[in-house]
Amino acid sequence: MLLAALRDLQWRRHRFIVAVLGAALVFAMGLLMSGLSNAFVVEVDRTLDQTGGDHWVAPAGAAGPFSAGVAIPLDAMPDDLAARAGVRRADPLLFSRAVGEVNGTVLDVNLFGVVPGGLGSPRPSHGRGPDGAGEILVASSVGDIGDEVTIFGTVFEVVGTVEHASLIGGTPSVFVPLDGAQQLVANGLDVASMIVTDGQPADLPPGLRAFDRADVQEDLARPLRNATRSIDFVRVLLWMVAALIVGSVVYLSALERTRDFAVFKASGVRTSAIGLGLTLQAVAIALTASVVGAVLAVVIAPAFPLDVVISRSSLLLLPLVAIVSGALASLVGLRRVATVQPAAAFGGP
């Protein structure tokens, strides 16, 4: 029966090739959706890695250090925070959403006010970090060294670029000296959104809390939670569409092979064995489509306007999804097999 199923795939190869390509495109879109959702998590991890710290001090009542409206008066901060037990270094960081203009293009950016060379200031991929007024370090997607970036009417010169610097759904990040950011978003007040520390500070003053990495990840992921859920829901729908494509082809094959099934049954072949052959066909189509779909997704991903990070686990999971989809899709054909009577083998054309 298994050999007969494979021979039938060969006989109807044109139809099965079309089915494989259709299901492969759907699988590829599912992988791309998975990669898009995963990119939201990856960009958060990259940003936290770029800060160089492992704890972020902010007001205790805040949802997180990157939440809107979080501000710490730096003149009220203890002078010995960096010298406290468990802390190797501590630097203030001011975070805000902003709108910039580069080469006539207006774009939203994540604005970081950092201490030059301190925690929160990422290592440039090209050029150097900002260390004076009017200088800015930007994500490589924003511009090149020497470009001018206008933020809230203030012109900055790009002195360095950083690869993969983005947050909140691919919004690029830019970095300016802390005092420059304070002039832009805090009217010159000596405030920060958080204190980035290398090490967990002990005995913080009342009203302050040290957020760990998990807390900050949750804080940054929250604005995109509904978008992530929507993407995951679309991905499940795509898996269902792929199963329907495979199921429709298997069902058409079962309709055309009704006489074959009757002959098999009349010669003593069990219904389960015939059904196993159909299941093999469906799984073979789905597995082949998953391999082609994985290749398509990897090829298409760089063309997306947002970063698409297809994880290795998603690539490994796809064949399993394909097997399950193929097995479920074969059920429509199995029902047809079960209703075929052996006497149909001796009927007319």
The region of weakest confidence among 29-43, 105-119, 322-336 is 322-336
- The chain-wide mean pLDDT, for the chain, equals 84
This model's pTM is above 0.85: no
Reading the block at residue 227, the tokens are 């978008």
Reading the block at residue 339, the tokens are 């209703």
Alpha carbon separation from 20 to 9, 26, 254, 297, 322 (Å, rounded): 12, 10, 17, 15, 11
Q: What is the pLDDT of residues 200-254, one digit of tens each?
A: 887 787 888 899 999 999 999 888 889 889 998 998 898 888 888 887 877 777 6
Nearest to 186 by CA among 58, 59, 63, 69: 69
The percentage of the chain sitting over the pLDDT mark of 90, rounded to a whole number, equals 37
User: Is the pLDDT reported for residue 295 higher than 60?
Assistant: yes
- Phi first, then psi, for residue 216 (nearest 5°) are -70, -40
Higher pLDDT, 14 or 204: 204
pLDDT band at residue 10 using 50, 70 and 90 as cut-offs: low
pLDDT confidence of residue 257: 64
List alpha helices for the chain, DSSP H.
2-11, 13-51, 178-185, 213-221, 225-256, 258-266, 271-300, 312-329, 331-339
pLDDT confidence of residue 3: 55
The span from the CA of 349 to the CA of 347, in Å, is 7
Q: What is the pLDDT of residues 151-190, one digit of tens each?
A: 998 999 999 999 989 998 889 999 999 999 999 998 889 8
Reading the block at residue 70, the tokens are 């979080």
pLDDT band at residue 346 using 50, 70 and 90 as cut-offs: low
User: Is the pLDDT reported for residue 310 higher than 60?
Assistant: yes
pLDDT band at residue 129 using 50, 70 and 90 as cut-offs: very high
Helix axes 271-300, 331-339, angle to 10 degrees: 160
User: Is the pLDDT reported for residue 54 higher than 80?
Assistant: yes
The span from the CA of 132 to the CA of 24, in Å, is 53
pLDDT confidence of residue 208: 86
Higher pLDDT, 49 or 348: 49
User: Is the pLDDT reported for residue 274 higher than 70?
Assistant: no
pLDDT band at residue 279 using 50, 70 and 90 as cut-offs: confident
The span from the CA of 173 to the CA of 164, in Å, is 9
The span from the CA of 9 to the CA of 249, in Å, is 11
Q: What is the pLDDT of residues 33-47, one digit of tens each?
A: 999 888 898 999 999
Which H helix or E strand runs over 294? Answer: helix 271-300
User: Is the pLDDT reported for residue 85 higher than 80?
Assistant: no
Q: To 5 degrees, how large is the angle CA 232–CA 236–CA 240? A: 165
pLDDT confidence of residue 282: 80
The span from the CA of 160 to the CA of 143, in Å, is 9
